[in-house]
Amino acid sequence: MAKAHSMDVRERVIAACEDGQTAAGVAARFRISAPFIEKLKRQRRERDALAPKPHAGGRRPLLVEHDEALRALLTAKPDTTLEEVRKALELKAQLSTLGYRLNHLGLTFKKHSAPPSRTGKTCGFSVTLGIRTNQPWLGTPVFVDETGATTVLARRYGWRLKGKWGVGTVPQGHWQTTAWVAALRQEGLTAPRVTEGPMAGTSSWPMSANSWR
């Protein structure tokens, strides 16, 4: 939207017209349009004023009635995507419109840059192995179960106010894989062990086997 001419320009335009200069000459002198000069003259006759009319405000922004719900949702779950926000609030708007509204609220989708918290989502995996009973130190069948959490699939971006740090949520507060392995016997679960990093095949077997004796 074009900016309104200042009061100084308006007064000088009217003064030049009252001095007998033509509208075309005044327009060329002040680098304004001739229709604006005619409009300014009519405004002075009808309203006895030269000041521009106050801005009417335009149409109401889209989704403004959902501002509080958007803030609450993204404060609780900052890594929510635009599509998930639209579904959660049942909005009938384009993703670009939703993104524009969030930007108006001062929210940006940025990478988590502060240390992650110690609570959050878990991306789990599970592997179960059966062990033969001909081991002399077992005596009964044992099932070895491995499960863990990896942060590879954890979301690294979230909505935050401009200029604010973003804090991610990943298991155990670090960006890596944590494995948990235990032996399941007839008597119950025994020898639980938590290790940093994945169980890399046979490289972890001697350590685990000693724990299951």
Higher confidence at residue 12 or residue 168? 12
Q: What's the pLDDT tens digit per position in 62-73?
A: 888 999 999 999
Q: Residue 127 above 70 pLDDT?
A: no
Q: Residue 126 above 60 pLDDT?
A: no
State the pLDDT at residue 136: 52
Alpha-carbon distance of 6 to 168, in angstroms, equals 50
How many alpha carbons lie under 13 Å from residue 79 in its C-beta half-sphere? Answer: 15
Average pLDDT of every residue of the chain: 75
Which H, E and C letters describe the chain, residue by residue? CCCCCCHHHHHHHHHHHHCCCCHHHHHHHHCCCHHHHHHHHHHHHHHCCCCCCCCCCCCCCCCHHHHHHHHHHHHHCCCCCHHHHHHHCCCCCCHHHHHHHHHHCCEEEEECCEEEECCCCCEEEEEEEEECCCCCCCCCCEEEEEEEEECCCCCCEEEEECCCCCEEECHHHCCCEEEEEEEEECCEEEEEEEEEECCCHHHHHHHHHHHCC
Q: Which two tokens stand for residue 16?
A: 């030049």
State the pLDDT at residue 168: 67
How many alpha carbons lie under 13 Å from residue 147 in its C-beta half-sphere? Answer: 8
Q: Which pTM was predicted?
A: 0.43
Q: What's the pLDDT tens digit per position in 71-113?
A: 999 888 888 889 999 999 999 889 999 988 998 888 888 776 5
Region 19-43 average pLDDT: 91
Q: Residue 205 above 80 pLDDT?
A: no
pLDDT tier, 139 (very low <50, low <70, confident <90, very high otherwise):
low
State the pLDDT at residue 86: 93
Higher confidence at residue 186 or residue 213? 186
